[in-house]
Amino acid sequence: MLAKYEKRSYDNNIPVWAGKYDSLQNLAHWHNESELIFINCGQASIGINGKIYQAEEGSCFLCSGGDIHYINSAVGGICTIIIFDNRLAANIPMKRKLLSPLLSGKYNIDKFYDSIKNELRLTPPFYEKKVSAEFLSLIIDIFRNEKNEENTVGSNQLLILYQRLLNEIDKNYQEINFSLAAKYMGYSEAYFSRVFFALSGITFTEYLNTVRIEKAVELIKTGEKNN
C-alpha cells in the first residue's frame, strides 16, 4: 500500500475489517479508524508515530485514529490486524490516549478475532449489535487497565506536517526530490533525513522509489483494463 491516508471500505454493514497476515510488510500510513495489531507468532518491527517497537509472539498494540504506523514482520511471522470505526467503542480511543500503544495486559485477541470473524461471515440476526458490544467491552477493558490520558486532538504538529508531505508526494511523485521534501517540512536535509526514517522505517529515497513503482503498476493495470 502507498504510505498515505488510507480510506477503507467494508464488506458488511458494520465498519470493521479483520484479517491475518504471514510475513506482512507495509509502508507507513494512517487512517481515521483505530487498529489492533496482535503478533500471533514470530517477530515484527512495529513503527508508531516515530517510535519503533520490537514485537514478539503475544505482543499487542492499539493505534488510535491518525497514528502513523507500519509493520515489518519477520519471515514466517503471523499477525492479526483488526481495524474498526471508533464509534463502535463509544469513541473512547478518540477521547482518551494510551501513554503507550504497546499493551501491557493480555486481552485474548485470538478469541476476540474468531468471534467477530464468525459474526461477520455468518451475519446471524443482530450480528451488528453483537460485534459492537464485543468491541466496546474490549476497549473498556484496555482503557481500564492501561495508562491513558485525555486526548488533545491536533497537538502533534510533526505528524501533521508528515501527513501533508506524504499527500504531496502521492500527488507529485514524479517531480519531488529529497531537497524539495526537506524544504516542504521546513527542516535541514540532515534533520529531515533522521525524522523521515524514524516515522517511515525506511529512507526517503526508498520510500519515493516504492511510491513510483506502485504508481507505475497502477498505470499498467489501468491500461490493461482499458484495452
For residue 74, the domain's CATH number is 2.60.120.280
- Residue 55's domain spans which residues? 16-150
pLDDT at 108: 94
Residue type, 79: C
Same domain for 45 and 142? yes
| 133 DSSP 8-state letter | H
CA-closest candidate to residue 91, choices 20, 4, 153: 153
pLDDT at 220: 87
pLDDT digits (tens, 9 = 90+) for 9-26: 666 678 999 999 999 988
Indicate whether 173 belongs to any domain: yes
pLDDT of residue 166: 87
Q: Is residue 61 part of a domain?
A: yes
Q: Are residues 192 and 208 in the same domain?
A: yes
* Claim to verify: residue 187 and residue 134 sit in the same structural domain: no
> Whole-angstrom Cα distance, residue 32 to residue 22?
25
Tell me the pTM.
Answer: 0.78
Asked if 101 and 135 sit in the same domain, the reply is yes
In the predicted structure, residue 182 carries a pLDDT above the cut 90: yes
DSSP assignment of 181-223 equals HHHHHT--HHHHHHHHHHHHSS-HHHHHHHHHHHHHHHHHHHH
- Asked if 168 and 57 sit in the same domain, the reply is no
From 120, 150, 180, the end of a domain falls on 150
The bridge status of strand 44-48 relative to strand 96-98 is unpaired
Task: Quote the number of domains for the chain.
Answer: 2
Does 30 share its domain with 55? yes
In the prediction, which pLDDT does 224 show? 63
Last residue in a domain, options 150, 177, 207: 150
**Average of per-residue pLDDT values in the chain:** 89
**CATH assignment of the domain containing 222:** 1.10.10
pLDDT at 2 over 50: no
Q: Do residue 143 and residue 172 come from a single domain? A: no
**Residue pLDDT, tens place only, 141-172:** 999 999 999 876 555 778 888 888 988 998 89
Q: For 30-71, what is each residue's pLDDT tens digit?
A: 888 999 999 999 999 999 988 999 999 999 999 988 888 999
pLDDT at 1 (0 to 100): 41
Nearest Cα to 65, choosing from 38, 92, 104, 44? 92
